[in-house]
Structure 1
């Protein structure tokens, strides 16, 4: 290949655009493509860690002639190379914008165990707080009497519960951003604990303990079943959506009817539907937590996972409390 086949170097291009007096090329112009820098003049440039260094034996580029399609070789010294686009690498199995994934969201057993352990630690703290508040409302009679005489306190706690619940479920930013996610979860837990204690104050101590015991048995049985069974509840996401709508509509109808006239069988029917529905919800959310199913919760959504399990357990307790309290009458 002749010398004219290669693009001009730095000195030649400078002379072509701004010829020097006397014309021609300087006698000291370096040979093209055969120097220690692959077509670059062997002059050290500032902030260049490679200039001024001898060719390395294992460097496949040093000492090679410039290639026609190589955007770096044959450029003037110090010419900045074109910036390459940064392509983000998303690990397989991580959750999407909604916090769910259709594949196994855990790349290793250690990641799965760490996620499950974190969720159940948060859930244990929530249940301990709720149990303590219910115990205060149940065993300290003046507290129960006071909240029953002042229902406005209950509705304030319900408003706080509703707002924090909506924020944690619908807003991904606050739900994933530490420490705001834990702060919102703590406020939500206190509000729901106060509501649960307020409702428990209307029932006898025996009914509260009996409902608590049945709730513990149901939750342990459902959790063990979900860890052992091959049945995939996450495939039935549409069914659980419809079930949630049914429970919500039934609850609205029951509240409207009971506000005008108390119908015992309607109250019992709603309590039975709610207890069964939230037991199924507990199984569904537990399998989302475990992973290795059609759908699973992203490891980043530990607050959402703990929130879902906590609401399911508290709702099971409240519905069982209504059934037992009605049976005692």
Structure 2
């Protein structure tokens, strides 16, 4: 027995209202939907919510569950996502991540070039003065006859060195630091030329050649080695104190004409110690070690290398000059 609401519409109603009701052979509204086939690309099924389409453990369509940034737990790795076809990493992001590192590296390289440019100018002035004091005989005789100028240059060297070390910041004082560096270079050049005037020309040239070879070898070694010499500051401090004590003992012994070859031993030890200082200061200049100098301290970096090289030359000059005698 059916009610009136279940009877089909009349011909007039169906003609004037075509959307009225459901087609005679269409599915009823209360009939359950047919379940989709199970989806198991990885050998299992998705642990779906109970009662979904009347079944448990059936994976719905990917478009239903896929949402950007919220991956469903247990989703098989073969289910396509919204990022399919996009490269896993963006080259622009990687470049932005590495840009500070590359920027600091370029700053360090520019700093090294500036330091070596200043150092080259200093060494050119120093060895030009050494050449004049060695080859020009009147100048050579003048500096030997008046040693007071040598001690005056030593005082200027010491005072200017203390000023440069204590006020080594180049910011707002760069012209003054550069002027003081020029005065310091001239004072040390005069001292070096005066000492060189007491030796033969052959010994001076031999000391120049050995110094150049040592500097090139140390620079190549510091740029290639993985050994960190910047952590040996205490050892170098002890070596410098020992060198000072040996120098005092040598001066006392030589004043009494004992052990005439002792000054050559002292000079050899001094050359070794200042070579180690050159290694230390070069690695501090290069960076990427335990200790590194600031890229803004190019005056101080050039000053450190310059003093090491000049002292290596003077010690080697004493050895070569003593051997020539």
8 A contact 1:167–1:174 mirrored in 2: no
Distance verdict in 2 for CA 1:239–1:205, change over 3 Å: same
Work out the CA distance in 2 between the residues paired with 1:285 and 1:266: 29
Q: Tell me the alpha carbon deviations over residues 141-191 of structure 1, each in whole angstroms, 9 at most, x when there is no partner.
A: 010011101100100000000111111123345797211111111111000
* 1:232 to 2:228 alignment: yes
Q: Which has the larger radius of gyration?
A: 2
- 2:269 is matched with which residue? 273
TM-score normalized by structure 1?
0.66
- 2:130 is matched with which residue? 134
Listed as ranges, the gaps of 5+ residues in structure 2 are 1-100
* 1:300 to 2:300 alignment: no
8 A contact 2:284–2:292 mirrored in 1: yes
8 A contact 1:147–1:154 mirrored in 2: yes
- 2:249 is matched with which residue? 253
8 A contact 1:176–1:301 mirrored in 2: no
Q: CA deviation at 1:252?
A: 2.8
- 1:326 is matched with which residue? 322
TM-score normalized by structure 2?
0.66
- 1:205 is matched with which residue? 201
Work out the CA distance in 2 between the residues paired with 1:154 and 1:137: 13
The 3-state SS of whatever aligns with 2:231 is helix
Work out the CA distance in 2 between the residues paired with 1:306 and 1:188: 12
Q: CA deviation at 1:265?
A: 2.5
Q: Tell me the alpha carbon deviations over residues 111-147 of structure 1, each in whole angstroms, 9 at most, x when there is no partner.
A: 0110000000000000000011001001100100111
* 1:159 to 2:162 alignment: no
Q: Tell me the alpha carbon deviations over residues 21-61 of structure 1, each in whole angstroms, 9 at most, x when there is no partner.
A: xxxxxxxxxxxxxxxxxxxxxxxxxxxxxxxxxxxxxxxxx
* 1:219 to 2:215 alignment: yes
Work out the CA distance in 2 between the residues paired with 1:273 and 1:175: 38
8 A contact 1:175–1:304 mirrored in 2: no
Q: CA deviation at 1:257?
A: 3.4
Distance verdict in 2 for CA 1:292–1:134, change over 3 Å: same
Work out the CA distance in 2 between the residues paired with 1:218 and 1:251: 23
Work out the CA distance in 2 between the residues paired with 1:262 and 1:137: 31
Work out the CA distance in 1 between the residues paired with 2:171 and 2:132: 30
Q: CA deviation at 1:260?
A: 4.3
* 1:309 to 2:321 alignment: no
Q: CA RMSD, aligned part only? A: 2.0
Q: CA deviation at 1:246?
A: 1.6
